[in-house]
Structure 1
Amino acid sequence: MIKNNIKFKSVIAVSTLAIFSSCSNTKFLKEGQMLYTGAEVKVEGDSISKKQKKALKAELEDELTPKPNSSFLGLRPKLYAYNIAKEPKKDKGFNYWLKYKFGEKPVLLGDVDKEFNKDIIVNYSENKGYFNAQAKYDTISKNKKARVIYTLNPKSQYLISQVKFQEDSTLINKEIQNLKDKSLLKVGNPFDLGVIKAERERIDNGLKEKGFYYFSPDNLIIQADSTVAKNHKVELNVKLKDQTPDLAKEQFSIDNVIVFPNYNIRDVKEGKYQIPMDKDSLSKYAYGDIYVIDSEHKFKPKIFDRALYFKKGDIYNRADHNLTLNRLISLGVFKFVKNDFIVSDSLNHKFDAYYSLTPRQIQSLRLETLGRTNSANYGGGEVNLNWTHRNFFRGAEQFKASVYGAFDVQMGGAKDANNIIRVGAKTQLSIPRIVAPFRFNSSSAFVPRTNIALGYEYQSRTELYTLHNFNASFGYVWKENVRKEHDLKVIDITMVAPQTITDKYREQIDGNPEKGIPPNPTLGRVVEKQLIFGPTYTYTYTNTTSPQTNTFYYRGMLDLAGNITGLVTGANAKKGDQKDVFGVPFSQYAKMEHDFRFYHKFNEKTSFASRIIAGLAYPYGNSEFVPYSRQFFVGGSNSIRAFRARTLGPGSYDPRTQNASFYFDQAGDVKLEMNAEYRANIVKFLNVAAFVDAGNIWLINDEINAQGQITRPGGKFSKDFLNELAVGAGVGLRLDFSILILRLDLAMPLRVPYYEKGDRWVLDRIKFGDSSWRKDNLILNIAIGYPF
């Protein structure tokens, strides 16, 4: 509570300091002190181009130390906070946080070692091939502030004229010669020490793939000779150092592979765990080509045979080394994986591979509780009890079972939305291999899995209806690499059966002429018996885990329900020939969805994020409509935030015209959504954002009631769909408390698709000073994590 209190106060402090930090920080300086405001590097001379000067200047300025106090819009609020905060008596509390956590100690001119920085400039320039670089510096001061100007004259940059790979008759030299065709050192390129270091790493990686386990990049030397060439040229000679150890020159192969699946540090201290193992005692632990030291038989040896890529007699290579470690970790049953290679036959250059595996807690029981609100005026909570067994059949199979209960209560709004109660249970068995009648080989670092899931949920919408929802699936998940993942459910079955439908809800479905309520078959489809079965496939590609300026995320989904059954039975719902399975009409449709995201990082504190989602669900054969549970929805905290969850669309349909005494979720068969967000970090835990959202949903076919009326006019997809896009914008706060990110987004509509044509943009009707306008148009979304 104290920690959160400090963080709340800090939000106020940041705002206050932004106002008052314009006051001069120099008044806090002592006599003779000068505030250091930064440095600049000027690159002079006609020997290099403007482009080279610009690049060299940016690189050199980044190398200079120390960095001046941080600034924001020309102000230094962190320095001001340090100056005004009193010296705390204890290393805690708000005053301590303000001075030493948020605040920054002043960086003075006296802290700058100008000679040291001048040497850095010269050395860095020489490393980039400017061998005759010269530098000087000058200090400019005014009003107790000082900056340093460094001037560099780099002369001409030396270029590579020749690259030699020194040859001899050794095996390691032969492998180095095989690697030279892909050298990073190119004739005509500038001399660059960074590239030379990268070339040593490249050769080292190549040799590691050929069995030279003990080799190191430090065993290579790349000699540069600028005396044998003219006109600023340099020759490079790549060779092994004379003092390279003999062990580093030897190619090693695998002798024995030994696994300790129950390793723990106590066994090491008590002397129970020994490396190397006595060769005479290994035979009783043999399983094929490997040895599994598991006297308690907690694990089936075959799981290690699948995960280990090293076999007896294999030449060592780093790819299989890393692949094996990653696959052991991805089994999900081991907390730590340790690997050792011990020379077993120095004459024939062989070593034993030891894998010491520390198991995770095999079983765990976790109770989760959470509270939530959403933009549709609901508040509620959820309780989950989860049991996990990570070695269910001794083959690293993960079995998960959970029971849960949830409720959502209406907390306001124009109509009675009724309360929602959900109670359910679900189980999943995840097997670390592909269980199939065909052979599936994967060389990925991630173990492929077969997943079997069963679930049941009871849902009650008070005063309206209660439903039973059963689901089951069987499928596979596999990753090609860290970027590409496939999720194929060979069969995904959902059965929805109503238990009770109240007269109040039935009246809305069938209509009541006396009360002026027209029939609404859309509501009937929510509670009708549904049987959905078929395969689904999801493909995900992402490079967002890489530290790049531009990153991407793509998720594509394909859902094919009832296709083969519909084809075999000749079902045709439009002609009245609808087929049943176990007395329930089965659904037949094709659905796809594409989610593409792009992220651009401007610097360490600011970034841009965008997303486009496009989806289509098309019913045919045995279905005239896509099942309600498989349709698309928009609005809410992770969608178009200016509109409440599931209240937008379809098309230009106006939900305010519905006669129901409650809101019902708006669903559609076509979805288009676009989002853009600018994100900035203010202090460590406080982030702000400005965003724009646009999109809508539409129907493939109009829904007609018994009187021949269209129940949701304007909802059908047409060529005019762009004119039916909703647009909203807003600002947000993101509080990063390490264990979670609390997000508060305040949004308002800019374009409302159900207004009359030509009157849908509402920019001229924004009235922040009008309380009734704010109540109707400002939507506060409270959520956990980022929206995308």
Structure 2
Amino acid sequence: MNNKHLLYYLFGLLLFASSCSNTKYLKEGELLYVGGSVKVEGKEIPKKERKALKKELEDLLRPKPNSRILGLRPKLYFYNIAGTPKKDKGFKHWLKYKVGEAPVLFGQVDLQYNADVLRNYTENKGFFKVQVESDSTRKGKKATAEYIVKPGKQYKIKQVTFPEDSSEVAKAIQKTKRRSLLKVGNAYDFETIKAERERIDERLKERGFFYFGADYIMIQVDSTVGKQEVDLIVKVKDETPAKAKEIYKINDIIVYPNYSLRDSIQNVDKDVVQYKDFTIIDKEDIFDPRIFDRTLYFHKGDIYNRTDHNLSLNRLVNMGTFKFVKNQFRPADTTGNFLDTYYYLTPLPKKSFRVEVLGKTNSANYTGTELNINWSNRNTFKGAELLTVTAFGGMEVQVSGQNNGFNVYRIGGETSLIWPRFIGPFKLKASSGFVPKTKASLGYEFQQRSKLYSLNTFKGSFGYLWKENIRKEHQLNVTDIVYVSPQNVTSLYDSIARTNPALQRVIDKQLIFGPTYSYTFTNTMRKRKKHTIYFKGGIDLAGTITGLATGADVRAGNQKEIFDVPFSQFVRLEADFRHYLRLGNESQLASRIIVGSGFAYGNSEQMPFIKQFFIGGTNSIRAFRARSIGPGSSEPVTSTAFLPDQSGDVKLELNTEYRTTLFSIVKGAVFIDAGNIWMLNDDEPAKNFSSKFLDDLAVGTGVGLRFDLSFLVLRTDLAFPIRLPYGDKRWVLDDIAFGDGSWRKQNLIFNLAIGYPF
């Protein structure tokens, strides 16, 4: 018997064992409930609509049977084989109650209750006078439930009438009808009616009706107006309170920026500061009153609206300065309909100190640790500015393999200051719940690669961050400066770098400065949406103005320097697009494409090494070690005692991954990755990007487990190549031999990481 037949045999044996053994644990008279089905009958309903209604109705049936994977019920199987644990902890208890799932018995099924649910749902969809029949079928120790639903023709909306009296609330409702969800000719739908009430309430809140609520709206249904037709009459209930029908304006705006529950809000006259329309009660004078004028949307005399209400709260929360934010509206002690607005703000500790110790590993078999020390001041200049000072140090070692002894040591620090506003010549008054920010940062890092070289890296940036809304984010660095200076280059590295220009660029002095911009869009926070996307695009323009002003042209022998270092001049573009297809409550298909290109010109003949693209590794093409692919169809570097970083000017990467929950906190994945990097003007044609770039793609596949611990996701992936980007034989599918130890050693790549790859 060969391996393939053995796998089929074992799978069939498992299928038989798990399907048969689950019922033997049932007591006398018990039946395992294996599911229910709905049949929709009626010639008045088109086949496509019957099919859609059937699916909706089957989702309503309760209880749900035990979950299945490939026709098996593994959770129920584990529950049964665990037996009766003697303790409330231990392996058996974990297996039974965390991994396992108790049997769903037919005795738990209430046929009449389900029939009533199906009837109510169908009638709420406009199929009045519905008939529902229910029955069950027993086969051995298993049972199913069957339901037959016989709806009539669906009722349609003939006419919609809105209030027509002269009251303020009636006139306001009239103005909202253009965007009504109730459309003549559409099917009657109770859920749409409820949504319409909520919509009207939301629109009234935008027009000053602070005390109004959706429950004050009544939509009457008249089904006597025609055959399978209804009239809908929108009304304000007679018992609606008078104040709910009035428009309210903002009166006083009182802010307590240093509030705690122990504080008394009485007798605070001596602590009051009046700034424009705001009354600030800050007895310790912690905050500059101007930050509230920039943050809060309401001003005295404004008509109340829900948008400004929510945007003000969101801005206060997103400033990152306050631990608790509470808002109250109270009737003002004045004539007319006015509201006094109160903001109770409890600050986070002004200064904080945090120490982090991290353990990490990567696909080049390096294992290491890192220490981060962070000090923060959340109100540096009394304007909610965030000052952060970070110091870090770490090391990575490889205890065996090709890089044994070539350890990596890092030490450095960074200081950043974030203002909760735009400063400088740029001004932005965004209608968003997110405060626009200005950020400045300075950093230094020393990196020692044992037996090879050391690098000193200085970084500085100044720019702006702002969000249009929760989905769209912008980051513009007016200037982003990087200076890299090598030292302690060993003879070992120098001897190899002389024959490899890519390695030489690693130890070249580099001066990079210029603006950068990135835009991010995502709607992945909408968990119930079937299709969600993430997009991030960026552009890096280095040395553009300086190069043009000085007439720099390295190809003409006119290379310019600043502080005796040639500055880099290039354009770099990169786009990362991800698509998530929701296949069910516990599964999805995630896909990603990354496209990037960098072009050096003017003062630079090549892209600087740190701005080039790399591919392969834990979060990239997992069947190949980090930065080991390409450029193009060039052979992997094997002649050196260490693993150099393979870099390129162009990048293409594609990933697809099927994700599903296996049980409890354990999730599984099957994935395929492809991609490569290329040069644009290398002396070796095999490395350059061409019209035949698809021939150079490296392809890998594999499986993985993710352990979702809520506070982090621990990821393990096991991958192997199925297509090489080099050589005469590129597709290596027929070389796969899991039983061959030599093949496994050369091809299987184990990745351990934190979080999802994308």
TM-score range, shorter chain: over 0.9
**Could you tell me which of 429, 441, 462 is aligned with 1:453?**
441
- Partner SS state of residue 584, structure 2: coil
C-alpha distance 722-25 of structure 1, shift in aligned 2 (>3 A): closer
Q: Hey, what does 1:250 align to over in structure 2?
A: 246
- Partner SS state of residue 205, structure 1: helix
In structure 2, distance between residues paired with 1:673 and 1:576: 36
State the shift of 1:30 in Å.
2.7
Does 2:567 match 1:586? yes
Does 2:35 match 1:75? no
In structure 1, distance between residues paired with 2:14 and 2:370: 40
Contact conserved, 2:272 with 2:281, CA < 8 A, in 1? no
C-alpha distance 413-88 of structure 1, shift in aligned 2 (>3 A): closer
In structure 2, distance between residues paired with 1:613 and 1:285: 53
Q: Hey, what does 2:376 align to over in structure 1?
A: 388
Give the ranges of 4+ consecutive aligned residues of structure 1 lying more than 4 Å apart after TM superposition.
16-20
C-alpha distance 22-352 of structure 1, shift in aligned 2 (>3 A): same
- Partner SS state of residue 513, structure 2: strand
State the shift of 1:36 in Å.
2.0
Q: Hey, what does 1:224 align to over in structure 2?
A: 221
Does 2:736 match 1:766? yes
User: Structure 2-normalised TM-score?
Assistant: 0.95
Q: Which amino acid aligns with 1:247?
A: K
**Could you tell me which of 365, 370, 373 is aligned with 2:358?**
370
Q: Which amino acid aligns with 1:604?
A: N
In structure 1, distance between residues paired with 2:450 and 2:103: 63
C-alpha distance 739-439 of structure 1, shift in aligned 2 (>3 A): closer
C-alpha distance 117-347 of structure 1, shift in aligned 2 (>3 A): farther
Q: Hey, what does 2:82 align to over in structure 1?
A: 85
C-alpha distance 217-716 of structure 1, shift in aligned 2 (>3 A): same
In structure 2, distance between residues paired with 1:367 and 1:701: 46
- Partner SS state of residue 92, structure 1: coil
Q: Which amino acid aligns with 2:520?
A: T
**Could you tell me which of 551, 569, 580 is aligned with 2:550?**
569
Q: Which moved more, 1:59-68 or 1:412-421?
A: 412-421
Q: Hey, what does 1:737 align to over in structure 2?
A: 709
**Could you tell me which of 664, 677, 691 is aligned with 2:644?**
664
Q: Which amino acid aligns with 1:723?
A: D
**Could you tell me which of 232, 250, 265 is aligned with 1:273?**
265
Q: Which moved more, 1:484-493 or 1:107-116?
A: 107-116
State the shift of 1:199 in Å.
0.4
State the shift of 1:89 in Å.
4.1
**Could you tell me which of 352, 357, 360 is aligned with 2:340?**
352
Does 2:435 match 1:439? no
Q: Hey, what does 1:643 align to over in structure 2?
A: 624
State the shift of 1:663 in Å.
2.1
Q: Hey, what does 2:7 align to over in structure 1?
A: none
Q: Which amino acid aligns with 1:78?
A: K
Q: Which moved more, 1:69-78 or 1:738-747?
A: 69-78
In structure 1, distance between residues paired with 2:716 and 2:253: 54
State the shift of 1:347 in Å.
4.3
CA RMSD across the alignment: 1.8
CA offset digits 1:97-148 (Å, max 9, x no partner): 2333333332222222222222112111111111111112112112122222
Q: Which moved more, 1:108-117 or 1:254-263?
A: 108-117
Q: Which amino acid aligns with 1:450?
A: T
Does 2:637 match 1:632? no
Q: Hey, what does 2:579 align to over in structure 1?
A: 598
State the shift of 1:75 in Å.
2.6
In structure 2, distance between residues paired with 1:148 and 1:523: 69
Contact conserved, 1:417 with 1:662, CA < 8 A, in 2? no
- Partner SS state of residue 22, structure 1: helix
Q: Hey, what does 1:522 align to over in structure 2?
A: 502
In structure 2, distance between residues paired with 1:774 and 1:310: 66
In structure 2, distance between residues paired with 1:634 and 1:493: 25
C-alpha distance 717-85 of structure 1, shift in aligned 2 (>3 A): closer
Q: Hey, what does 1:400 align to over in structure 2?
A: 388
Q: Hey, what does 1:474 align to over in structure 2?
A: 462
% same residue: 56
Q: Which amino acid aligns with 1:22?
A: S
C-alpha distance 106-507 of structure 1, shift in aligned 2 (>3 A): closer
In structure 1, distance between residues paired with 2:16 and 2:382: 63
CA offset digits 1:162-213 (Å, max 9, x no partner): 1111211101110000011111111111111000000000100000000101
Q: Which amino acid aligns with 1:721?
A: F
In structure 2, distance between residues paired with 1:680 and 1:438: 47
CA offset digits 1:523-572 (Å, max 9, x no partner): 22211211110001011111111121101111111001001111011111
User: Structure 1-normalised TM-score?
Assistant: 0.92
Q: Hey, what does 1:6 align to over in structure 2?
A: none
Contact conserved, 1:262 with 1:294, CA < 8 A, in 2? yes
Q: Hey, what does 1:12 align to over in structure 2?
A: none
In structure 2, distance between residues paired with 1:246 and 1:362: 46
In structure 2, distance between residues paired with 1:520 and 1:468: 22
In structure 2, distance between residues paired with 1:17 and 1:448: 58
- Partner SS state of residue 218, structure 1: helix
**Could you tell me which of 490, 499, 524 is aligned with 1:502?**
490
State the shift of 1:500 in Å.
2.0
In structure 1, distance between residues paired with 2:431 and 2:520: 18
C-alpha distance 448-699 of structure 1, shift in aligned 2 (>3 A): same
Q: Hey, what does 2:675 align to over in structure 1?
A: 695
State the shift of 1:413 in Å.
2.8
In structure 1, distance between residues paired with 2:260 and 2:81: 52
User: What are structure 2's unaligned runs of at least 5 residues?
Assistant: 1-12
In structure 2, distance between residues paired with 1:97 and 1:87: 11
- Partner SS state of residue 139, structure 1: strand
Q: Hey, what does 1:678 align to over in structure 2?
A: 658
- Partner SS state of residue 656, structure 1: coil
CA offset digits 1:445-503 (Å, max 9, x no partner): 10011000000011111122112111100000101111111110000011111232222
Q: Hey, what does 2:525 align to over in structure 1?
A: 545
**Could you tell me which of 744, 753, 758 is aligned with 1:783?**
753
In structure 2, distance between residues paired with 1:194 and 1:462: 67
Does 2:397 match 1:420? no
State the shift of 1:345 in Å.
3.9
Q: Which moved more, 1:339-348 or 1:775-784?
A: 339-348
In structure 2, distance between residues paired with 1:218 and 1:127: 19
Q: Hey, what does 2:24 align to over in structure 1?
A: 27
Q: How does 1:187-336 map to 2 (within 5 A)?
A: 187-227=184-224, 229-267=225-263, 272-273=264-265, 281=269, 284-336=272-324
Contact conserved, 2:271 with 2:281, CA < 8 A, in 1? no
In structure 1, distance between residues paired with 2:693 and 2:35: 54
User: What are structure 1's unaligned runs of at least 5 residues?
Assistant: 1-15, 511-518, 704-709
Q: Which moved more, 1:734-743 or 1:67-76?
A: 67-76
Q: Hey, what does 2:180 align to over in structure 1?
A: 183
Does 2:331 match 1:343? yes
In structure 2, distance between residues paired with 1:651 and 1:717: 7
Contact conserved, 2:517 with 2:538, CA < 8 A, in 1? yes
Q: Hey, what does 1:11 align to over in structure 2?
A: none
Q: Which moved more, 1:777-786 or 1:93-102?
A: 93-102
- Partner SS state of residue 594, structure 1: strand
In structure 2, distance between residues paired with 1:769 and 1:17: 22
In structure 2, distance between residues paired with 1:671 and 1:438: 34
State the shift of 1:283 in Å.
9.0
CA offset digits 1:59-92 (Å, max 9, x no partner): 2222222222222233323233333433334433
In structure 2, distance between residues paired with 1:122 and 1:509: 78
- Partner SS state of residue 222, structure 1: strand
Contact conserved, 2:402 with 2:641, CA < 8 A, in 1? no
C-alpha distance 37-655 of structure 1, shift in aligned 2 (>3 A): closer
C-alpha distance 138-337 of structure 1, shift in aligned 2 (>3 A): same
Contact conserved, 2:272 with 2:282, CA < 8 A, in 1? no
Q: Which amino acid aligns with 2:635?
A: D
C-alpha distance 661-108 of structure 1, shift in aligned 2 (>3 A): closer
